């Protein structure tokens, strides 16, 4: 008799065998199926539990692996894409995500296993998806890296010569690219009057800069009659690994003819028929950069009356007007214009059109001043007949305060209107019977201040004062932006500090012993040297000079001035061969013993094979591969052989001809 356990075992064995036969038949008929797990157990007497579970499909990525792959510069980053699966798959797709730039390079792209993909530099996340025949999608991911050696940055195109004009702030934009996508740094040699400024980084590979200056006076254009002055400068850029590129440039500042300046312009004037102030005497005081002062006699003056012939004249060389009225002139109000003209430049730069396009001139310039002259035997003072605000008031420092005034002169004169803030003249007006004035005291200003209007006919006047209580407004924190010549759209002027090169490093102890340092400075510098592990022999300091190229002249600076001294590593005789980045010979080295007063630092644009380059300015640290030398092809070899054969035939023919000619003779 068969035991129960043996019977149950036979049943399970039969079912397993039957299942295997079924799966085998399906496989023979090529019916797709998924892997399964068959399990069974006896639950209770006479009952058997059999479970068939699907096994999840598995994708294996054999290449690329979770590692870094090294590539040469300038080549495509082709990597084998080798994959396999635990079951047959009828469709394969992959996505490649650029981890550095957070963007998909490929997304759900069809591919064939054991092919290749084009990766990106730095981090890659590869996701492979495969579709099981008549079943589901399976997925697997891997992160790998592409490594390429660092390349030096590359300056954008900079012309050999850049032009600027006297009387303007110099401005020139340039950029540098770095295929390593690093922010690069820049400098200009021998700063002052030209300084470098960082502008922005595009987040990819290009950094933007500009060269700026303060307003350039006549001396920067070579002086009077100098025509121009050229400055030889080197612009350099470098990355975090101190790979550098540079370009030499000549900055030429062109001389222009400055407009004369009348220093004592006239407004409303009054003269009496008799007694005091019965003579009008005035000499026009003029300054001209090229032609000097009035007294030098190089300027030409002229005077004109509106709508009538001249009642009196002006000396054309001295600018003197001298007039005593007669009874016939009583009650007259003359409107006059006095003008002064300078001389043209003696010589003009060949590229002066650059400056003329900006409104400058090399020809004669003239400037005029309009004024009125009243003749009377009974002068009456002008009057303020209306003004606004009507009372004193309070205002926030950054809020503009508005004022308005109307004036009247019973003698018919149109008087001057002058606005003063805290006793300083802020605005002058002529030939106006009413005027408006707006003023903002600015951030950081508080307390009681005054605004005054004075109207005058040249002899008598009237005035009104407003007492303004200014409420404090804190100044915003300000980081100097990209450049000179402005206040970034605000009503205040923010300093833009620019510093010259550091001077040569001086020994702290010797300078103190010579009395050049105070005890406080000596102690402070020694403490900083100790923090940098410089002992007394090598503890040095150096100084520089910083200027505000915006020329704000604020009573209190809004942007703190940079420190004009720092510690340095002292060496007895700094040179271009001491293995130290230091300053000497009137400039500072860019890096160790190169740049500034030394030979240029090696670059990938200097035409020299250096710094580990494979060939001149290519390979090694340079961003471009060298061109491969192409071997002579068979076709080229055949051509060369035919040419040589042709030359040999010519030589043989010449020899034969000479022999034939010799025998005939």
Distance in angstroms (rounded) separating the CA atoms of residues 189 and 196: 9
Domain final residue, candidates 126, 148, 170: 148
Structure tokens given for 97: 């995500």
pLDDT more than 70, % of the chain: 88
DSSP 593: T
In what helix (H) or strand (E) does residue 648 lie, and over which residues does it extend?
helix 634-664
Domain final residue, candidates 423, 453, 471: 471
Assess whether 418 and 365 both reside in one domain.
no
Q: How far is CA 42 from CA 13, 16, 19, 38, 49, in A?
A: 12, 14, 18, 14, 6
In a domain, 634, yes or no: no
Structure tokens given for 311: 């009642």
Residue 97 reports pLDDT greater than 70: yes
pLDDT average, residue stretch 432-441: 93
Distance in angstroms (rounded) separating the CA atoms of residues 155 and 582: 25
Q: How far is CA 115 from CA 13, 109, 483, 539, 588, in A?
A: 45, 13, 53, 63, 55
Looking at the chain, how many residues does it have? 665
User: DSSP letters of 538-577?
Assistant: TEEEEE--EEETT----SS-SSPPPPSEEEEE--SS--TT
Assess whether 139 and 90 both reside in one domain.
yes
Distance in angstroms (rounded) separating the CA atoms of residues 134 and 84: 18
Assess whether 275 and 358 both reside in one domain.
yes
- pLDDT at 288 (0 to 100): 97
Residue indicated by tokens 């998806």 = 129
In a domain, 477, yes or no: no
- pLDDT at 55 (0 to 100): 52
Kindly report, residue by residue over 517-546, the tens digit of the pLDDT: 999 999 999 999 999 999 999 999 999 999
For the beta sheet containing 383-388, the strands, ordered from the edge strand earlier in sequence to the opposite edge, are 383-388, 401-408, 434-439
| Per-residue exposure over 630-660, b if at least 16 CB sit within 10 Å of its own CB, e if not | eeeeeeeeeeeeeeeeeeeeeeeeeeeeeee
Q: What pLDDT band is residue 493 in, cutting at 50, 70 and 90?
A: confident
342 within 8 A of 260, measured Cβ to Cβ: yes
User: For position 452, which CATH number holds?
Assistant: 2.60.40.10
The average confidence (pLDDT) of the chain is 87
Assess whether 212 and 290 both reside in one domain.
no
HEC string of 245-302? Answer: EEEEEEEEEECCCCCCEECCCCCEEEEECCCCCCCEEEECCEEECCCEEHHHCCCEEE
Distance in angstroms (rounded) separating the CA atoms of residues 217 and 148: 49
User: DSSP letters of 476-525?
Assistant: PP----S-SSS-TTSSSPPP-EEE------EEHHHHHHTT-S-HHHHHHH
Domain final residue, candidates 96, 130, 148: 148
Residue indicated by tokens 């200014």 = 470
In a domain, 640, yes or no: no
- pLDDT at 2 (0 to 100): 44
User: What is the pTM (predicted TM-score) of this model?
Assistant: 0.74
Distance in angstroms (rounded) separating the CA atoms of residues 266 and 626: 73
- 433 phi and psi angles, rounded to 5 deg: -95, -10
Residue 9 reports pLDDT greater than 80: no
- pLDDT at 27 (0 to 100): 43
Residue 328 reports pLDDT greater than 50: yes
Assess whether 434 and 466 both reside in one domain.
yes
431 within 8 A of 333, measured Cβ to Cβ: no
Kindly report, residue by residue over 560-582, the tens digit of the pLDDT: 999 999 999 999 999 999 999 99
In a domain, 665, yes or no: no
Residue 482 reports pLDDT greater than 80: no
Assess whether 248 and 342 both reside in one domain.
no
248 within 8 A of 234, measured Cβ to Cβ: yes
Lowest-confidence pick of 408-412, 502-506, 648-652:
648-652
211 within 8 A of 194, measured Cβ to Cβ: yes
- pLDDT at 52 (0 to 100): 44
- 175 phi and psi angles, rounded to 5 deg: -145, 170
Assess whether 158 and 203 both reside in one domain.
yes
Structure tokens given for 48: 């058997």
- pLDDT at 349 (0 to 100): 97
In a domain, 659, yes or no: no
Chain-centre distance for alpha carbon 377: 65
Assess whether 535 and 571 both reside in one domain.
yes
Assess whether 273 and 329 both reside in one domain.
yes
Number of folded domains that form the chain: 6
Assess whether 429 and 501 both reside in one domain.
no
User: For position 369, which CATH number holds?
Assistant: 2.60.40.60
- pLDDT at 14 (0 to 100): 42
In a domain, 131, yes or no: yes
Residue 636 reports pLDDT greater than 70: no
Kindly report, residue by residue over 14-58, the tens digit of the pLDDT: 444 444 444 444 444 444 444 444 444 544 554 545 444 455 679
Assess whether 266 and 353 both reside in one domain.
yes
Assess whether 367 and 265 both reside in one domain.
yes
In a domain, 660, yes or no: no
Task: Name the nearest CA neighbour of 425 among 447, 470, 394, 456.
Answer: 456
Structure tokens given for 542: 């150096």
Q: Which residues contact 532 (CB under 8 A, 6 or more apart)?
A: 567
- pLDDT at 274 (0 to 100): 86
Q: What pLDDT band is residue 629 in, cutting at 50, 70 and 90?
A: low
Residue 191 reports pLDDT greater than 80: yes
How many other C-beta atoms lie within 10 A of the C-beta of residue 622?
25
- The residue range of the domain holding 80 is 59-148
Distance in angstroms (rounded) separating the CA atoms of residues 302 and 340: 7
- pLDDT at 219 (0 to 100): 96
In a domain, 488, yes or no: no
């Amino acid at each position: 008799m068969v035991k129960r356990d043996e019977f149950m075992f036979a049943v399970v064995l039969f079912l397993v065998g039957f299942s295997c036969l079924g799966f085998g038949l399906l496989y023979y008929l090529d019916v797709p199926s998924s892997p399964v797990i068959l399990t069974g157990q006896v639950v209770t007497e006479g009952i058997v539990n059999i479970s068939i579970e699907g096994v999840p499909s598995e994708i294996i990525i054999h290449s690329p692996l979770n590692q870094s792959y090294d590539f040469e510069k300038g080549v495509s980053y082709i990597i084998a894409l080798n994959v396999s699966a635990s079951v047959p798959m009828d469709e394969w797709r992959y996505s490649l995500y650029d981890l550095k730039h957070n963007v998909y390079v490929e997304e759900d792209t069809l591919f064939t296993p054991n092919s290749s993909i084009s990766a990106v530099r730095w981090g890659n996340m590869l996701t492979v998806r495969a579709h099981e025949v008549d079943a589901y999608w399976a997925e697997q991911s891997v992160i790998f890296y592409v490594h390429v050696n660092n390349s030096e940055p590359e300056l954008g195109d900079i012309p050999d010569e850049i032009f600027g004009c006297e009387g303007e702030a110099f401005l020139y934009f340039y950029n540098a690219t770095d295929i390593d996508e690093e922010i690069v740094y820049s400098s200009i040699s021998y700063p002052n009057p030209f300084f470098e400024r960082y502008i922005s980084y595009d987040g990819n590979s290009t950094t933007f800069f500009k060269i700026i200056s303060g307003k350039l006076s006549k001396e920067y254009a070579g002086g009077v009659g100098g025509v121009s002055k050229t400055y030889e400068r080197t612009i350099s850029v470098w990355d975090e690994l101190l790979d550098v590129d540079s370009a030499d440039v000549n900055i030429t500042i062109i001389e222009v003819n400055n407009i004369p300046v009348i220093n004592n312009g006239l407004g409303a004037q009054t003269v009496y028929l008799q007694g005091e102030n019965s003579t009008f005497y005035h000499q026009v005081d003029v300054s001209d950069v090229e032609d000097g002062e009035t007294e030098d006699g190089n300027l030409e003056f002229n005077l004109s009356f509106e709508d009538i012939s001249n009642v009196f004249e002006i000396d054309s060389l001295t600018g003197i007007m001298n007039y005593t009225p007669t009874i016939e002139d009583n009650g007259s109000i003359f409107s006059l214009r006095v003008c002064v003209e300078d001389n043209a430049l003696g010589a003009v730069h060949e590229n002066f059109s650059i400056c003329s396009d900006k409104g400058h001139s090399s020809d004669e310039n003239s400037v005029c001043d309009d004024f009125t002259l009243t003749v009377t035997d009974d002068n009456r003072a002008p009057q303020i007949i209306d003004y606004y605000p009507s009372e004193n008031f309070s205002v926030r420092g950054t809020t503009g305060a508005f004022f308005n005034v109307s004036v009247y002169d019973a003698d018919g004169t149109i008087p001057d209107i002058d606005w003063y803030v805290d006793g300083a003249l802020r605005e002058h007006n002529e030939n106006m019977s009413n005027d408006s004035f707006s003023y903002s005291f600015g951030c950081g200003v508080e307390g009681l201040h005054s605004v005054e209007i004075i109207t005058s006919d040249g002899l008598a006047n009237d005035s009104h004062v407003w007492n303004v209580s200014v409420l404090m407004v804190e100044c915003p924190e300000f980081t100097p932006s990209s450049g000179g010549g402005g206040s970034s759209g605000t009503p205040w002027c923010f300093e833009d500090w620019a510093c010259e090169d550091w001077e040569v490093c001086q020994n702290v102890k010797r300078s103190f012993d010579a009395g050049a340092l105070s005890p406080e400075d000596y102690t402070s510098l020694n403490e900083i040297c100790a923090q940098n592990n410089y002992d007394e022999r090598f503890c040095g300091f150096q100084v520089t000079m910083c200027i505000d190229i915006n020329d704000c002249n604020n009573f209190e600076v809004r942007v703190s001035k940079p420190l004009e001294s720092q510690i340095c590593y002292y060496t007895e005789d700094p040179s271009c061969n001491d293995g130290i980045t230091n300053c000497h010979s009137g400039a500072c080295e860019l890096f160790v013993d190169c740049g500034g007063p030394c030979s240029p630092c090696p670059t990938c644009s200097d035409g020299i094979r250096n710094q580990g380059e494979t060939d001149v300015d290519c390979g090694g640290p340079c961003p471009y591969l060298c061109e491969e030398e192409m071997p002579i092809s068979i076709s080229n070899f055949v051509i060369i052989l035919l040419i040589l054969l042709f030359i040999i035939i010519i030589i043989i023919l010449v020899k034969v001809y000479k022999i034939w000619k010799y025998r005939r003779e």
